[in-house]
Amino acid sequence: MSLAEPVRQRIESMLAQHRVVLFMKGTRNAPSCGFSAATAGALNELLDDYVTVDVLADEEIRQGIKDFGNWPTIPQLYVNGELVGGADIVQGMAASGELHTLLGLPQPDRTPPEITISDAAAVQIRNALGDAEGMGLFLAIDARFQPQFQLREIQGSEIRAVANGIDVLFDPASAKRAKGAHIGWTETAQGEGLSIDLPAAPPKVHGLDVHALKRLLDEGRITVIDVRSADERKIAPFAGAEILDASSHERLVKLPKETPLAFLCHHGNSSARAAEHFREQGFRVVHNIVGGIEAWSSEIDAGVPHY
């Protein structure tokens, strides 16, 4: 299919204006497919700022970028106007350090993490690897500290940690998150399998009652993020809160990761989901306000209307 000239000009303009451009499904902080999520995740490890183009929101670009670079799939990464490749290529370059070189960044730390493996887990892993010649046990840990064990072909650029006689392979970002990890074997009513404890993961979301919230606010030690709709906030405003919506999300996730956050909604349910999302983004002091604005109105400030 020939590329229409207006679409070509749009793409060339984007590439001329921005050094690093990722054409993907969804956005950097809300990818809409696993391949786009993996590619954006690799870039997020290295760059604070780069441009993403959501092809799902622009059908001309969705097809046009495939024709432009003669590359049939999405995502596609461009650096300095040149096509780098898709998800597998970008992840491979990130693991080997080639992506760091391309972006003019220092090479990644390749220090193997100190990990432990229980005897029961080691037995199961050896059994799984018994007939898998040339294959290795990989542990991938994404930015949300979600671990995934994979049995796949060894490429040679991996970071290798040894515990209980077992080799575990990592990419540089996963190796950093795996410091102090313990791999065990768990048996529950739902089944059995490998388990992993990650001490480097951000602490869990904590429930915060409104009395403790008031003390922290009085001391200036907490940032409240209101996740309610504009109509709800109009009925029962919470003074001084940050507003979480589509336009503010990108700014808020760039706050320093040690910023203490408390999430507010009507009763404490939707705010719990938002709090967990920010914990997964690496924030280390995250609270959910128990009872929401209703509890605040009932126990702290009767001037805030109920609804």
- Any idea which residues carry the catalytic annotation? 265
Q: Which amino acid is at 257?
A: K
Tokens of 129: 């690897």
Q: Look up tokens 């995250």; give the residue.
A: 286
How remote is the C-alpha of 190 from its chain's centroid? 27
Residues in contact with 91: Cβ distance below 8 Å, sequence separation at least 6, in sequence order: 38, 39, 42, 171
3-state class (DSSP) for residue 187: strand
3-state class (DSSP) for residue 23: strand
Q: How far apart (Å, rounded) are the C-alpha atoms in residues 169 and 158?
A: 6
Q: How far apart (Å, rounded) are the C-alpha atoms in residues 131 and 158?
A: 21
Q: Which among 152, 156, 199 has a CA at the least distance from the CA of 180?
A: 199
Region of residue 111 (phi > 0: left; psi between -120 and 50: alpha; otherwise: beta): beta
**CB atoms inside a 10 Å sphere around CB 59:** 9
Please report, for residues 14, 123, 251, 266, the alpha-carbon distance to residue 230 in angstroms, rounded to integers and kept in the order given: 34, 55, 18, 12
Phi, psi for residue 81 in degrees, rounded to 5 = 80, 0
Region of residue 17 (phi > 0: left; psi between -120 and 50: alpha; otherwise: beta): alpha
Characterize the bridge pairing of strands 166-170 and 82-85. Answer: unpaired
